[in-house]
């Protein structure tokens, strides 16, 4: 004798499929914006790390300049009264400090100097080295301010140069005793 209680299940009903699709659509509409915000937050966190590194190294250099009795001023001319930490070999000359690794970090107004105006590659190479920024990890857009971002984003170089993509750290050397300016520009991150 055969049982008559056998049920035939061949798949999902149309209503069940529509409900699943609606639920997936709602989940996607909630999850995708969260995912996009996570990417933006990660980029801003990366820039915060670069800015923090610049600020820490700037503070150390500023304290070192105070310990070495470097006057808080822009420049001195001539031999600068024989000051031990004066390099008059360049056109206008600058004070400097010696970093722990022996790099001569030029200073202006008591803060690390990056100088696109003078186009002095030694000053800028020393700045990058003393700040712990190397070309293998970071991209630099020379100018005023200096724009810095991770090499992983190197595909954005042309748009950052044109100022069409604003996702970088900007470093501006001190122009007075108020100090340098380190900013995170994150409009397009």
Residue 24 belongs to domain spanning: 17-185
Give the pLDDT band of residue 155 (cuts 50, 70, 90).
very high
Among 12-16, 35-39, 54-58, the least confident range? 35-39
Q: Tell me how many domains the chain contains.
A: 1
Q: What is the pLDDT of residues 61-73, one digit of tens each?
A: 999 999 988 887 7
Q: Residues 24-60, buried b or exposed e (16+ Cβ, 10 A)?
A: eeeeeeeeeeeeeeeeeeebeebbeebbebbeebbeb
* 140, part of any domain: yes
pTM: 0.76
In a domain, residue 178? The reply is yes
DSSP single-letter state for residue 111: E
Look at residue 75 in the predicted model and tell me its pLDDT.
58
Q: How confident is the model at residue 119 (pLDDT cuts 50, 70, 90)?
A: low
What is the residue-wise DSSP string for 148-171? EEEGGGGGGHHHHHTT----EEEE
- Residues composing the chain: 189
Residue 11 lies in a domain: no
Q: Is residue 1 part of a domain?
A: no
Encode pLDDT of 19-36 as tens digits: 888 888 887 777 777 667
109 lies in a domain? Answer: yes
Q: How confident is the model at residue 181 (pLDDT cuts 50, 70, 90)?
A: very high
Listed in sequence order, the residues at least 6 apart from 84 whose beta carbon sits closer than 8 Å to its beta carbon are 68
- For residue 181, the tally of other CB atoms under 10 A from its CB is 13
Average pLDDT, whole number, for the chain? 84
**In-domain check, residue 9:** no
- Considering the domain boundaries, does residue 78 fall inside one? yes
Is 2 domain-assigned?
A: no
């Amino acid at each position: 004798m055969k049982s008559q209680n056998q049920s035939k299940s061949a798949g999902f009903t149309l209503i069940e499929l529509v409900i699943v699709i609606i639920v997936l659509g709602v989940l996607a509409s909630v999850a995708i914006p969260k995912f996009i915000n996570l990417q933006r937050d990660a980029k801003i966190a990366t820039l915060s790390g670069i800015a923090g590194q610049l600020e820490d190294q700037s503070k150390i250099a500023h304290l070192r300049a105070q310990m070495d009795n470097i006057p808080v001023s822009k420049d001195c001319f001539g031999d600068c009264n024989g000051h031990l930490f004066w390099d008059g070999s360049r056109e206008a000359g600058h004070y400097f400090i010696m970093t722990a690794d022996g790099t001569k970090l030029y200073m202006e107004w008591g803060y690390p100097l990056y100088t696109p105006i003078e186009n002095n590659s030694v000053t800028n190479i020393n700045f990058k080295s003393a700040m712990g920024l190397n070309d293998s990890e970071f991209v630099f857009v020379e100018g005023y301010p200096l724009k810095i971002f991770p090499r992983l984003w190197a595909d954005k170089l042309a748009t950052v140069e044109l100022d069409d993509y604003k996702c970088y750290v900007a470093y501006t050397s001190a122009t007075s005793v108020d100090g340098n300016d380190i900013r995170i520009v994150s409009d397009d991150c």
